[in-house]
Amino acid sequence: MKPEQPVIQGKDLRVVRGGAPILDVFSISVEEGEVLSLIGANGAGKTTLLQTLSYLTKPFEGQVVFRGRRVGSDCPVLTYRRALGMAFQEPLLFDTTVFDNVASGLKFRGLQKSKIREMVNEYLELFGISRLRGRSARDLSGGEAQRTNLARTFATGPEVIFLDEPFASLDPGSREPLIDDVQNILRRTKTTAILVTHDLMEALRLSDRIGVMDHGRIRQIGSTEDVMNRPVDEVVASFVGIGTVVSGRVVENRGDTFSVRVGEREIESVGRFSVGETVGIYIRPENVTLSIPLFQPDGSSLQTSARNVFSGIVRSVTPMGFYQKVHLDCGFPLAAFVTRQSVQNLGLLEGREVIASFKATAVHVMKKLPQPHYPGP
């Protein structure tokens, strides 16, 4: 049996403005029923890539393939566009009622009135705006307008939905419930979607895979697990919130585990690297546990299964929403997330001596590259 083709593929996509490339993507694809998020800082090229894939950006080099047919030759551009739905950061609503806005795309497609009414009522209900059906779009709040916009996009039953920062301009009270609703609707309808966002948590909630972009290139693309815990370089590590990024040299190889000397300390990890290799070490802050030394300053009194146990000094404590980020000096810089209650219970003030521990499996190691690495998907 032949494997199913991706719904959309982009190949050798390149956009040049003012003589300089602003997009240079070797390959990208999205599978049936998958939600792929493109994340990165402002100006990373996320929206340009989305607009190129949707044929809203011209001219561009390369090709877009829809269900195995090249758009613009085997597949007419108009046919391709009719298969897409798009929602942007700012809702572009008609000066009419909520019902008529959601119905507009269905009317353009020439559906019967009874079918239009059925589809509109379904998505008004799914997006929690049935009570607003007769309200003018001019009288909607920002959250209500975006719900109307998304209901209109989903109601047409597109084969692929492109979402360009649809939650970015909303206040938290409107944003969080809407993200939950979109997540549930995507799962229910099994709609293929590409989401552009600069918000990592948003991408993690909605996505099957994540692509991290920087300067018009895809630095890494993969499952949320891979990207979050196994970044390919320091740019990706920084964006996905890896708290600790240090380099060292492999000093011992024990088969399935090895040790890396960082300063005067040795960090143990799982895997296979050769003695003498220079490597980069990445440790997520939520994988680091802090405690107060009771007996031995080297932490030997701790009852822990962690292979890495170090004494350290608190250098600073930074509020990070629900958590506090503790910056430590353990002979190398180390970051940990703790709750506000833990900060109080452990007395985590600047200068406080603590024990930091983390498992060997929590340490991601990769070869240190002399030049920036731009992997393909």
C-alpha span between 241 and 168 (Å, rounded):
20
Please say whether the beta carbons of 266 and 260 come within 8 A.
yes
Q: Please give the single-letter amino acid code of residue 283.
A: I
Whole-number pLDDT of residue 369: 54
C-alpha span between 294 and 312 (Å, rounded):
14
Structure-derived torsion over alpha carbons of residues 109, 113, 119, 120, reported in degrees to the nearest 10: 100
Distances (CA, A) of 108 to 3, 78, 82, 126, 249: 35, 14, 11, 22, 63
C-alpha span between 9 and 13 (Å, rounded):
10
3-state secondary structure of 368: coil
Whole-number pLDDT of residue 139: 96
Whole-number pLDDT of residue 243: 87
* The domain defined by 8-233 carries CATH number 3.30.300.130: no
The residues of the chain that CATH labels 2.40.50.100 are 242-367
Nearest Cα to Cα of residue 322 among 338, 344, 345, 343 = 338
Please say whether the beta carbons of 227 and 240 come within 8 A.
yes
Please say whether the beta carbons of 26 and 40 come within 8 A.
no
Please say whether the beta carbons of 206 and 195 come within 8 A.
yes
Phi and psi angles of residue 316, each rounded to the nearest 5 degrees, phi first: -165, 160
pLDDT in tens, the chain (377 residues): 445 789 999 999 999 998 899 999 999 999 999 999 999 988 899 999 999 999 998 889 999 999 999 999 999 999 999 999 999 999 989 999 999 999 999 998 888 999 999 999 999 999 999 999 999 999 999 999 999 999 999 999 999 999 999 999 999 899 999 999 999 999 999 999 999 999 998 999 999 999 999 999 999 999 999 999 889 888 899 888 888 999 999 999 988 899 999 999 999 999 889 999 999 999 999 999 999 886 544 545 555 668 899 999 999 999 987 889 999 999 999 999 999 999 999 999 999 999 999 999 999 998 875 444 333 33
3-state secondary structure of 121: helix
* The domain defined by 242-367 carries CATH number 2.40.50.100: yes
Distance of CA 183 to the CA centre of its chain: 14
Nearest Cα to Cα of residue 102 among 91, 187, 171, 162 = 91
DSSP track, 15-67: EEETTEEEEEEEEEEE-TT-EEEEE-STTSSHHHHHHHHTT-S-S-EEEEEET
Q: What is the pLDDT of residues 284-298, one digit of tens each?
A: 999 999 998 865 445
Q: Tell me which H or E stretch contains 124.
A: helix 113-126
Q: Can you give 182-216 as a three-state secondary structure string?
A: HHHHHHHHCCEEEEEECCHHHHHHHCCEEEEEECC
Whole-number pLDDT of residue 57: 84
The conformation of residue 75, written as its DSSP 8-state character, comes to B
Whole-number pLDDT of residue 295: 53
Q: Where do we find the tokens 């393939």?
A: 65
